[in-house]
Amino acid sequence: MKTKKKYVILGSVLVIGAIVLGSTLAWFTWSTSNEQNTNVVVTVGGATISYEDGEDITNNNLIPTSTKEQGISKDITISSTSTVYLDLNMTVVTLDDGLKDASFKYGLYDDTDSPVVEGNFASDNANDVINLLDDVTITNTPTTYTLYIWIDGNMSNPNTMYNQNFEFRLNANATDEMQIQTITGVELTEQIASEVNEGTPNFGSTATTNEGVYAAQDDYGTSYYYRGAVDNNYVYFAGYYWRIVRVNGDGTIRLIYDGTSAHANGESSSDRQIGESAFNGSYNDNAYVGYMYGSTGASSYSATHANTNSSTIKTTVDNWYKTNIVDAGYSDKVADVIYCNDRQIDTTYHTALGYGTNVTGYMARYRLDTNKSPVLTCTNKNDRFTVSDTSRGNGALTYPVGLITADEMSMGGAVYGRNNSSYYLYTGQFYWAMSPCNFNSGYAYEFFVNSSGVISYSGVISGYGVRPVLSLESDISVTGSGTQSDPWVVQ
């Protein structure tokens, strides 16, 4: 445990809020005093916001602390006699250079102590606006949030933070009409691409924080993929919540199923899958590593891995897709793109034959276990599952839907053999990938993620979770901002 430095920040808080409803405008000013419990209530056009309790920064009590609760806080309780839509932001008025440090933090939390917005003031300047709530629906049921501002004593707190000044405003805006901004899929792709990090992350390390967006080549061009505990890749489509895995190289947007409600990173829930299934009903041949497969007992690789028979899990995914996407009228928004069941052989592993009961390794095993180098490309055309695209793909699918690959899991933040409950693909459940691992000891093995977020492999007859993956067309329109409380909603 680090020793807390007794730095005191001298400063004041000036809070000015504006609530706008229709043509009605009201302003209030609240300056801190020596009172420990401050309660300010403002009502405009039926919308009520109260700022309650909490300590005053003027009491020189902001010092490095081990928890956010030991800093300063304000409860913000909101209700309305009619439905309104609220924006809340914090404007930085004064921020001395010495306070521009990652340990000087803020966070808005809901009444379950779940974070709505978290950040620090390391790169902020005077007049910067920090969005806390955006078009949140307010009804007559009171909703309470807590704003915390604190110096994290679990981090390094430089001496430059001593005797510095900080001042901010809270601005609230409520309207009776949601301010909907519609953008196209192309614009969303451009927005994601604009956030891309340079270089390649270390795939030997788990991604437990929000590492943002990286670029890699896929079979169409440059793909942009999310990594770590990202919190701005939520999508609501076809009555379900999804997470964006990546933007494909052709500009379509690849999603993985995430439930009937929006789940936070780190949340364990069986709702985040459509059910459980074996990958295949039999296991005793190399053929059964396939999303589709050919002849068992064959004497050639090509006959074994011909795309003749649907796997057990493909049938499960197809049935769900027909009911929930095709029959529900959403199929025109889904793109026909490649889903990779990479059966390329690892020539360094045992027989390298890939048929019958010959001990065989497949390349995802080599990439994830041996040299930690996942890819988004799919080497063999026979393994690139598509519906009607026979130029790049195999044209073997009935519907344009598949599963996530083990490589995408790795790029998203998982590591073979290591726990990670923080990245966005963690569900607290066992669920299948689309990638073969090997055939050994009479068993066909496929990759999956376990309940601790570990990439591992298992015999294909195991009953694990199913999370469909599909890709949205680039000409869709969406609203929202991509957060858990304000997902991208496909129009």
The pairing of beta strand 64-65 with beta strand 143-152: parallel
pLDDT for 129: 87
- Tokens 């909490």 — which residue? 54
Chunked in runs of 10, what are the mean pLDDT values of the chain (491 residues)?
Answer: 24 31 26 41 53 46 83 81 77 85 92 91 89 80 87 88 79 64 81 92 96 97 97 95 97 97 96 98 98 98 98 98 97 98 96 98 95 97 98 98 98 96 98 98 98 97 98 92 91 87
Cα–Cα distance, 376 to 408 (Å, whole number):
7
pLDDT for 428: 98
Is residue 148 within 8 A of residue 90, CB to CB? The reply is: no
Cα of 38 vs its chain's centroid, Å: 37
- Tokens 């990090």 — which residue? 197
Least Cα distance to 279 among 19, 470, 33, 457 occurs for 457
Q: Which two tokens stand for residue 342?
A: 């990479």
Is residue 115 within 8 A of residue 107, CB to CB? The reply is: yes
Cα–Cα distance, 455 to 466 (Å, whole number):
15
| Predicted structure pTM score | 0.68
